Every structure is written in structure tokens, then in C-alpha cells.
């Protein structure tokens, strides 16, 4: 009972819960993943079952990932997504031309500041623990690479496809694009569609895992 499982994570579930479910299903203690997803997000989770495969975690974490994201313009939140408190609002309605211009400015290599509400550690403490205590600290910008394609724009919703390097925060991208458009913005929906060579089309829902043997890849 070991190998790689591709799971289509449902909304509202965190990565720790998914690990717990697979531990019970497989009776294997060593279960990990190749990149977490926020509870808000859905889509592809590459789950690693067994010591042989959890050792490969770092290799998978460095792979390119792709997402379908929806940004809601008009308001910014402290978490950069729809679960946070609104911190700024604007009635500015960007034109399609302005949206296309901003998307073009975010292509390629850039420096991105991680959000305070994230699991990233600084000084041995997770940023979201500091944020929940009302503490905000300076975070060094990290170099990331993104490729963005416009899918649809119907104010206040801006839908984009994003391919990105390791360590990219789509929530930060939503926040930063909203700031650039002078209308503010936050992430309202996110779905991971690709992780390295694995795609969402190969993934199984948790309901599908209850029938028959587990569909391991390379197991």
C-alpha cells in the first residue's frame, strides 16, 4: 500500500485532513504531499504514500504548477482571499484594456511578497500565527515566475489561468493585481489543474477512492 495518489481535493478541506483520511484508508503512517492547497481551493493534490515516496517530496515541490483563479475586484481583505476581513474598498471599475495591461505587467520573473496569512515560517514562527495575533512583520520578497492568460472579465470577477514556479502565492497575485488596477481585489476561487507532469484529469475524488483498490501511480 504505497505509491502516488492524485486527488481532486474538495473545497473546505485542508491538506492535513486529507493526509489523515489516507492514513486510515491505507493503514500507512508515512503520508505526505507535493504542495498544499488552502481550504478555499479545490483541485489537484499529489499525495505520497509510504516512506519510499514521501522521500521524493522535495523533488515534486519544485515542479511548475497551474491554476484557474477568480479574482473579485472592488475590495481587498487581510487574508487576500474571500475568507478574510475587508480592509479596503473601491468603486473603480477597470476597463478590459486596463486589465489586459496589468496582466501583461505581471508576466515572467518578478518579486512577490508572501501574505501574512500563510504557513511560511519566519524566525521559527508561522506567519499566520503572527497575523492572528494582530502582528504584521516585514517579509522579504521572493523571486517567482508566472504566466497568466485572461479567461474572462465581467466586473467584479476576473478569471485567469496561471502557470507558476514553486513558492508563488496566487492570493498575493490577486491582491497585487487589484492594487495595480486601483480597484483592490482578493481571491474568490482557486482550482489547481497541474502539478509537474500530473494533471487534474488524472485525479480521483475521495468518493471514488471508496470503491475497489486505490489507484496508485508508480506504486
Give the confidence band of 62 by pLDDT, cuts at 50, 70, 90.
Answer: confident
Lowest mean pLDDT among 101-110, 116-125, 157-166: 116-125
Task: Report the chain's mean pLDDT, rounded to a whole number.
Answer: 93
Closest by Cα among 187, 182, 157, 155 to 171: 187
Angle at 174 between CA 171 and CA 177, to 5 degrees: 145
pLDDT value for 1: 79
Contact 176, 103 (CB under 8 A): no
Give the confidence band of 122 by pLDDT, cuts at 50, 70, 90.
Answer: confident
Radius of gyration of the chain (CA): 18
Domains of the chain, residue spans: 3-62+197-210, 65-195
pLDDT value for 67: 98
The CATH number of 65-195 is which of 3.30.2350.10, 3.40.50.1860, 1.20.1050.10, 3.40.50.300? Answer: 3.30.2350.10
Q: Which residues are known catalytic residues?
A: 38
pLDDT 10s digits, 70-94: 999 999 999 999 999 999 999 999 9
Amino acid at each position: 500500500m504505497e505509491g502516488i495518489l492524485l486527488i481532486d481535493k474538495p473545497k473546505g478541506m485542508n491538506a492535513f485532513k486529507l493526509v489523515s483520511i489516507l492514513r486510515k484508508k491505507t493503514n500507512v503512517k508515512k503520508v505526505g504531499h507535493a504542495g498544499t492547497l488552502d481550504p478555499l481551493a479545490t483541485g489537484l493534490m499529489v499525495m505520497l504514500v509510504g516512506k519510499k515516496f514521501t522521500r521524493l517530496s522535495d523533488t515534486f515541490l519544485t515542479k511548475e504548477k497551474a491554476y484557474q483563479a477568480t479574482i473579485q475586484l472592488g475590495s481587498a481583505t487581510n487574508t487576500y482571499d474571500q475568507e478574510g476581513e475587508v480592509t479596503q474598498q473601491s468603486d473603480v471599475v477597470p476597463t478590459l484594456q486596463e486589465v489586459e495591461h496589468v496582466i501583461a505587467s505581471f508576466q515572467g520573473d518578478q518579486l512577490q511578497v508572501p501574505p501574512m496569512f500563510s504557513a511560511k515560517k519566519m524566525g521559527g514562527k508561522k506567519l499566520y500565527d503572527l497575523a492572528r495575533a494582530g502582528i504584521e512583520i516585514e517579509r522579504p520578497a521572493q523571486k517567482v515566475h508566472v504566466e497568466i492568460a485572461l479567461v474572462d472579465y465581467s466586473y467584479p470577477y476576473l478569471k485567469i489561468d496561471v502557470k507558476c514556479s514553486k513558492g508563488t502565492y496566487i492570493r498575493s497575485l490577486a491582491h497585487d493585481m487589484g492594487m495595480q488596477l486601483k480597484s483592490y481585489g482578493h481571491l474568490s476561487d482557486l482550482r489547481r489543474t497541474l502539478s509537474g507532469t500530473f494533471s487534474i484529469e488524472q485525479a480521483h475524488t475521495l468518493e471514488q477512492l471508496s470503491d475497489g483498490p486505490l489507484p496508485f501511480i508508480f506504486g
